[in-house]
Amino acid sequence: MKRIAVIGAGPCGLVALKEMIEGGHDAILLERTSDIGGVFSSNTIYPDLHLTISNWAMAFSDFPDPQRLCYPSATDYLNYLRSYARHFDLERHIIYNAEVTSASYNNNQWLLEVQENETQAGVEYAVDALIVATGANQLPQTVPPELKPFSGLILHSSDYDTTFRANVRKNKLRVLVIGGGESGADISADLGTLTPHTTVWLRRAICIGPRYLTSLPEMSQVASNKTTSFPANSFLEAATTNRMSAAQNVYTYGFFRKILWHTSVLNRTLSNLCLTSTESAPLMNDQATYVTKNQRMCEAWESGIINVRTCPQISVRGRTVRFHTSARVTEPREFDAVVLCTGFRCEFPWLKVKNFDKNPRAWYLHCFPKDMGQCLFFVGYARPHQGGIPAMAEMLARYVALLLRGERELPRDYAERARRDGEAEREYYHLSPNLHTLVDYNAFLESVARKVGWEPRLPLSCVVVFNIHMLSVGVLALGLVKKNWPLLGFRDAVLLWTSTLALFFFLHDGIMIKWWFFPNWSVWYRQRGPGSNPLLLDNVLRRVNVWKSTGVTTGFVLLVFWSWATLYMQWLISMALFIPYAVLSLLGHGKYRMWGTRLLPKLFVLHDAQWRIMDLFSP
């Protein structure tokens, strides 16, 4: 048993505390404020904020949200976190109003200096291991240099409140919003209803995904979803985290997005913006960049209540902002206020570690820093391209608990693996070079799961039917080349293909359809291995009947046909690639920067995820 301190009582800190206690460790949590919830309980939450990840995807694997599948408000999610803390009796392990001012490591022990209740004298704690869960959204980004000459009001999105909104509405202020992330989308759309003078500045076009896979107004769907159950496959994460998509290579995955952007399935302004943003990455498309999961800015722009200016540079004098739309052309506009939706930064001035690299890509799995992987851990610094941060944090916390108990070990060369994976991530997400926390949802979860034995598996009957189905595909392909195939006639192969396809919908209440086309919720990783509780998964899957929870829309039909065709194609590619991949890996050449890396299933491209021979025969 280890003595452990967790810093921060946001979602990631709470799950870290819970997993340490459940793992038999003596753990405390130090929280700087007087409440749990982190950013969700702070005054930095702007009015009517709704999450861009569904409540089921934001829920922890051993505490599924009992509410219907929907997009919760910040208040809804805070209530969920409080229920989680009560359920696992976490409050008695939390020390509130305790700010860590120094953490130093000597003689195999951390010494923490903590200022409690502001007025009291400092307190010291000695612990064996330290888990940092202060989050990547600690401090607002500073004002960009080009905006410093601005003489009007400048505020960060964390200061966007009802007082400022009232001022905008009353005086019809001319407002410039900088940034097109989730907060930029919400705030610009909100401002568009308050003043006719709202402009958004983007340095470059951005890639956007809608909360729901339709072109309908987003917030009206969010409101309707609070009282009406929507199909599980209508949520964005159903298209981005489903296992059928993760089984494709990155090129076929990205190309489908381009197909979708050329149809009328999604908001037209959104599609055009996505096409422009990915012009320099024609093969990877949305996989090369961060995706804003909120289409409200596009709706407001399309309806004409806001303006959007995209150019790499502006210049400012007084209240005049000039948009440099080309080398010789500038467009001047006057503004009264600027709202910075430019995100946050994280700092660790209290962490007294020599030569510490604060870039999460320098840490193995965005968690284990070089030379300190046995005693210093970071959770909450893996931000998935799709899906929510809490799922990443929970998997890492479970892994850390086992490491500290001596039941698992880090790879001996974990620092070198971190270096290689950091390079691979920078190459992969090359259109978002400054977002160092970005990871692939499925690949990250699967990588951690395979180091422990948590990777979920389908019933044997499903695996057998799948392989018979793929055999029929092979026979049909050979039948097109060679007539009168001796082992199985063409008609028999067609019958076999059709019957096995039908079985996918009926075996174990359609579990294969849910596995392939529903979101990859973290509860799947409670099916087996240490800390497993398969009943949790069974209960969640029973809540989404395959017939009632599958909406047949144009977008879904396109996804199914594309996914099914690429499943067969990827199977052939994987069969051809596995042996050279395995040989080169054994020779120590690794898989990064290799000719075939991005032709692998997307599930195994990043984050040290292990590709095994059994994966060739698994759905």
SS (H, E, C) 426-450: HHHCCCCCCCCCEECHHHHHHHHHH
Chain-centroid distance of CA 66 in Å reads: 22
- Among residues 145, 186, 419, the alpha carbon closest in space to that of 293 is found at 186
Containing 321, the helix (H) or strand (E) segment is strand 320-324
> Hey, what's the torsion of the CAs at 281, 284, 289, 290, to 10 degrees?
150
Q: What backbone phi and psi angles, to 5 degrees, belong to 240?
A: -105, -25
Structure tokens at 98: 């305790």
Give the Cα separation of 241 and 247 in Å (integer): 10
Contacting residues for 527 by C-beta, under 8 A, at least 6 apart:
454, 456, 457, 534, 537
Q: Which of 533, 394, 385, 357 is closest to 456 using CA atoms?
A: 533
Closest C-alpha to 60, from 439, 384, 522, 389: 522
DSSP state, 150? B
**Which residues, including other chains, have CB under 8 Å from residue 124's CB and lie 6 or more apart?**
111, 112, 113, 114
Query: What are the φ/ψ torsions at residue 62 (nearest 5 degrees)?
Result: -105, 15
101-150 pLDDT tens trace: 999 999 999 999 999 886 677 899 999 999 999 988 888 999 999 999 99
Do the Cβ atoms of 359 and 400 come closer than 8 Å? no
**Tokens of residue 452, six digits:** 């422990």
With vertex at residue 515, the alpha carbon angle to CA 509 and CA 521, rounded to the nearest 5 degrees, is: 110
Single-letter residue type at 286: D
The residue type found at 415 is: A
Residues ≥6 apart with Cβ < 8 Å to 327: none
Side-chain-side CA neighbours of residue 560 (13 Å): 14
- CA dist., res. 200 & res. 151, Å (int): 18
DSSP state of 229: P
Report which of 8, 18, 154 is spatially closest to residue 90, judged by C-alpha positions. 18
Which residue bears the tokens 């009007």? Answer: 152
Per DSSP, the three-state class of 556 is: helix
What's the CA gap between 303 and 192, in Å, rounded?
Answer: 10
Of 372, 217, 386, the residue nearest 300 (C-alpha):
217
Angle subtended at Cα 567 by Cα 278 and Cα 553, rounded to the nearest 5 degrees:
70
Burial 564-589 (b: 16+ CB within 10 A, else e): eebbeebbebbeebbeebeeeeeeee
Condensed to tens digits (0 to 9), the pLDDT of residues 349-401 reads 999 999 999 999 999 999 999 999 999 999 999 999 999 999 999 999 999 99
Q: Which residues pair with 123 in a beta bridge?
A: 114
Let me know how long the chain is: 619
pLDDT number for residue 480: 66
pLDDT of 405: 96
Residue-level pLDDT at 43: 77
Do 103 and 352 touch, CB atoms closer than 8 A?
Answer: yes
User: Is the CB of residue 370 less than 8 Å from the CB of residue 419?
Assistant: no
Residue ranges, the chain, pLDDT below 50: 592-595
Longest dimension (CA), the chain: 88
CA atoms within 13 A on the CB side of 48: 11
pLDDT in tens, 182-214: 999 999 999 999 999 999 999 999 999 999 999
Delineate the domains of the chain, giving CATH numbers in brackets.
3-136+346-439 (3.50.50.60), 140-238+263-344 (3.50.50.60), 460-617 (no CATH)
